[in-house]
Amino acid sequence: MLQNQEGQRVPQVTFPVRDGNEWKNVSTSDLFDGKRVVVFSLPGAFTPTCSSTHLPRYNELASTFFAHGVDSILCVSVNDTFVMNEWAKDQEAEHIIMVPDGNGLFTEGMGMLVDKADLGFGKRSWRYSMLVDDGVVTKMFIEPQEPGDPFKVSDADTMLAFVAPAAKKPDQVAILTREGCPFCAKAKALLADEGYQYAEVSLPVSIRSRALGAISGRGTVPQVFVNGALVGGADELEAWIKAKNAKAA
């Protein structure tokens, strides 16, 4: 039976962490004392849901969490420090502190250690998230005890809604480009000047026309999307930004 630890202090554990070419010990006191911390824990680095959704969305919303009183965001997994470090690089998770609970002591102390021997994982963490104030668990979102790997309540958006219900989330921006395109460079500069973080998809020649047509209905790059809606090329983006800024003024 999974244990909700709201109102309890987090377990006192020391994590061996590889920092560069040196070992150092990081304790739960180092991570939690005097801080407001969001934690999300998951079954394993490089696994599908963890890599495609769980970790990336916390990293994406990190600045919003920080703007609303959260000091740090921790990702806990029963993996060693080398795996967690490589996963952080792979995911470009610069805003997340990776906590390698290789021995499962923190996870066990949280009452979240489960047996995933059927997948060859051994003992791993159940998926959950929590808000911790000065070492005391304020809120926990624990995934339901269902077969498989449910992912319904421990996501970043659910946690942000608890921490700051009125928070405005950053726009999700993507741009389709090709190498050497001056109009693409202009569009990226416009986005950067406005402070947008964007995902760039550089299309190879072999699929460019088909991909552009299928995704945007257009035949040229760049094509910019904001929150799932097509804005268009560089000139259309510039007009969109001017209109948005005028409305905000």
3-state secondary structure 115-133: ECHHHCCCEEECCEEEEEE
**Catalytic option among 50, 75, 181, 184:** 50
Q: Which two tokens stand for residue 224?
A: 């910019």
DSSP type of residue 52: I
Note if 50 is an active site residue: yes
Q: In angstroms, what CA-CA distances link 134 with 12, 29, 35, 95, 111?
A: 13, 9, 5, 20, 20
Strands 173-177 and 198-202: parallel
* Residues belonging to the active site: 50
